[in-house]
Amino acid sequence: MSANVSAEEMEIRESFKKVDVDGNGYITASELSNLFQEVGCSMPGYQIRELLQKLDKNNDSKVTFEEFTAIFKEMKGEGMAQKFRKALNKKEGILAIGGTSTISSEGTQHSISEQERFAFANYINSSLEKDPECKHVLPINPETEALFKAVADGIILCKLINRSVSDTIDERTINKKKLTPFTTQENLNLALNSASAIGCQVVNIGAQDLKEGKPHLVLGLLWQIIKIGLFAEIELSRNEAIAALLEEGETLEELMKLSPEELLLRWANFHLKKVGMSISNFSGDIKDSKAYFHLLQQIAPDGSKEDVPRVDVDMMGLYENDLAKRAECMLKQADRLNCRQFVTATDVVSGNAKLNMAFVATLFNKHPALTKPENQDWNLTSETREERTFRNWMNSLGVSPRVHHIYGDLQNAMVILQLYERIKVQVDWDSRVNHPPFKGIGGGHLKKMENCTYAVELGKKQAGFSLVGIGGQDLYDGNQTLTLALVWQLMRRYTLNVLEDLGHGEVAGDDLIVSWVNKTLSQAGKSSSIKSFRDKGINTSIPVLDLIDAIQPQSVNFELVQKGSLSDEDKLNNAKYAISMARKIGAKVYALPEDLVEINQKMVMTVFACLMGRGMKRA
């Protein structure tokens, strides 16, 4: 694994995602078979098994990303490999385009999906149609390349981010009129750094890529932003009715560990079970629309809720023999539930897993049809702001698998070990790390424990972290305080490494940052200063805004800044403006406005450190 993603690694990752349609982190024989069927070159079962055996190094009938990467490189010249690659490029609705990113080597091909372009353009049209500040590009023609031009000024991206996670961007900071190349660049900086702050991976995407409308990068970013919004409510702590999906013998803690994708599948089967049906994926199992018809029938409003009229789903379309026509009949019924979104009849019949999952998420969000079990006294705690910030930071760095629940998803230490690599601590992946899937007693308990112990050892011996009283067992058990203590030290080191790189190896620390902040403020003629990251003046956000204006003169509109005796609302408004302005001038800030108002020392440090990094780039 490496922090620098090569063109070949990008190709491998894109290929893996095309085959791993359910996104569970490994490939099965049925997924391989579905791939070849979709592209019209079905293979005999023995050849599928032969290909799976080539990919599956530990013979567990599941191919992890690591196994896929190793064998993909070895197979380049083989006939089987060529057939495999041909199938990947031929996948329904995929266009191959020449590599255009600065990290792409000449001749590299990136695949873009016409189906995704069509779906995302329509989603943007329906989501932002009433926003007067988007009228200059809406409606987007989904049949053309117009989508890639529409995002070029950054306004659409900023609006979509706020739709997915409200109040991420203070819209006062978006440049909207008489845009110049410079103000457009600011908008794109704001969009990319805000996307990173909500957990999007933007490591290999630059403002110039978006300005030029590079298709594979635009579609990849749009999907990440849209998916975060779609999945926001598919979490037990935010939607207690999901507890209705508990299976016999299952604990609430086990249910909470399921990813949004797994919960969606559980939800669909919860309703389908009533008619004796079930599905195991959002690709091959939904192609005939039967599951969709029955799901719609089960979740349609029954008239029992006030102001929600009853909808009787017309099931006659089930008897249509032509699958495309049947899918169209089904989508007309979905439209009656105000849920016709993301998929066309073609997407259903071809089994486009990504778009069908988005469609099912829309159904869940609008018509969950779940009731929280009665007589249950659960004490569900919502994710804290600190937990959310750490989770978004990890995901923005592209860790795999994606972190949904910080304690459960760090239990095998694989994500923590990837983070060590991001902070330049060498990990012995071959000799010391046990790779998933974990098998053995208790679901590979010992192997996970060994990983956790190694993660703590790396922190103490290689990274020089202060991990007094923290052991591998604490990570495995999901001890909240001790797990967060390790994650914070990883995030802090990552932030300081950026400064050390810019400062030609000078060791960065709190005192150095405070000194630089005050020197920069003084040289710019600003009256504000800070004594430490606990300074009471920080809760007004004025030192932060003054520093931003010192780094990029005349960037801050001080008419929008509240001064004097400030109410809590005034402080929060200043903080929202400060965080968005920091991102707008190019600082990758993960902290939230509340962190400034409450003077959260850890997060305040990251804000000033990121601004120092931005200021050093200017110098």
CB atoms closer than 10 angstroms to residue 3:
12
| Encoded tokens for 420 | 């060590």
- H/E element holding 26? strand 26-27
Position 2 scores a pLDDT of 43
pLDDT at 58: 62
Among all chains, which residue has been given the structure tokens 């926001």? 232
pLDDT at position 373, please?
A: 84
CB-facing half-sphere around the CA of 576: CA atoms within 13 A: 18
Those residues of the chain that have pLDDT short of 50 are 1-5, 39-40, 92, 98-109
CA 318 – CA 289 distance, rounded (Å): 8
| DSSP helix/strand/coil, 585 | coil
d(CA 410, CA 389): 15
Three-state secondary structure call for residue 443: coil
According to the model, what pLDDT value does residue 36 have?
A: 57
Position of tokens 């007004």? Answer: 540
- Predicted model pTM: 0.83
pLDDT of residue 156: 98
Q: What is the pLDDT of residue 155?
A: 98
